[in-house]
Amino acid sequence: MESILKSKKIFLEAMNTRYACKEFDVEKKISDDDFSFIMEAGRLSPSSFGFEPWQFLVFTDPKKKEEVTEFAWGGRERAAGASHFVVALTRKGDMKHDSEYLNNFMRDVQKLPEDVIEMKTGFFKGFQEKDFNLLEDEKTLTDWSSKQSYIALGNMLTAGAIIGADSCPIEGFYKEKTEKILAEKFGVNTDEYNLSYMIAFGYAKDGNKHPKTRRKMENIVKFM
């Protein structure tokens, strides 16, 4: 009971104190151990059908951070001071029910036997075709895949806050232009991967914190 109370306190404090940091202290670096903790929160995140459609590129080199944020109007400054800059990619066509990638994933990662793979694939086909209508065009499937990666985003931000690391999630970039840079300068296969978001991690410059504003609980939760 005491440990539950302690966990609640730690978690809520992290949620309350986390904020989107606008300026990082370039001199302060997150330790390897702490950064692994943050990425572990991403890795262990849930995803629809457990297919983990994400990949995270981590930039620490100042020149590379500058290159990858050339068209990131909402992230360039954050990246410059950030100790670790994460670019989240998500799978595109591979997320279709009949892809070889998913078949291998179920076998090699999820360790499912062949008959279960067949059953899950059939169920997933129905889900994609009928329930969620994900196959009407390429963008719909890609967006669904990208949605999964935002669960990892939230978890990584909270994990950072728990250990006192600051962060800023970033969608402020020209997607097409940034994907072109990812392909040309960093070897990303953009036929296979979509750019979802970026996150700057580091430690804030003093005095850079802004107060949290949120709606009241009764305005967002409705018991039925």
Ligand X SMILES: Cc1cc2nc3c(=O)[nH]c(=O)nc-3n(C[C@H](O)[C@H](O)[C@H](O)COP(=O)(O)O)c2cc1C
Binding site for ligand X (CB under 6 A): 19-20, 22, 74-75, 168-172, 197, 212
Q: How far is the CB of 125 from ligand X (least distance, A)?
A: 30
Residue bearing tokens 């940091």? 21
Amino acid at residue number 135: L
106 or 157, CB closer to ligand X?
157
Q: How far is the CB of 58 from ligand X (least distance, A)?
A: 18
102 or 156, CB closer to ligand X?
156
Q: How far is the CB of 13 from ligand X (least distance, A)?
A: 14
175 or 212, CB closer to ligand X?
212
Q: Torsions phi, psi of 2, nearest 5? A: -65, -40
122 or 154, CB closer to ligand X?
154
**Comparing C-alpha atoms, which of 14, 60, 28, 77 is closest to residue 205?**
28
β-partners of residue 199 are 86, 169
Which residues have CB under 8 Å from 164's CB, separation 6+? Answer: none
71 or 172, CB closer to ligand X?
172
Q: How far is the CB of 76 from ligand X (least distance, A)?
A: 10
Q: What's the token pair of residue 14?
A: 């992290």
Q: Torsions phi, psi of 180, nearest 5? A: -65, -40
Which residues have CB under 8 Å from 169's CB, separation 6+? Answer: 20, 153, 157, 197, 198, 199
73 or 123, CB closer to ligand X?
73
Residue bearing tokens 């990619």? 89
Is the separation of the CB atoms in 87 and 140 below 8 Å? no
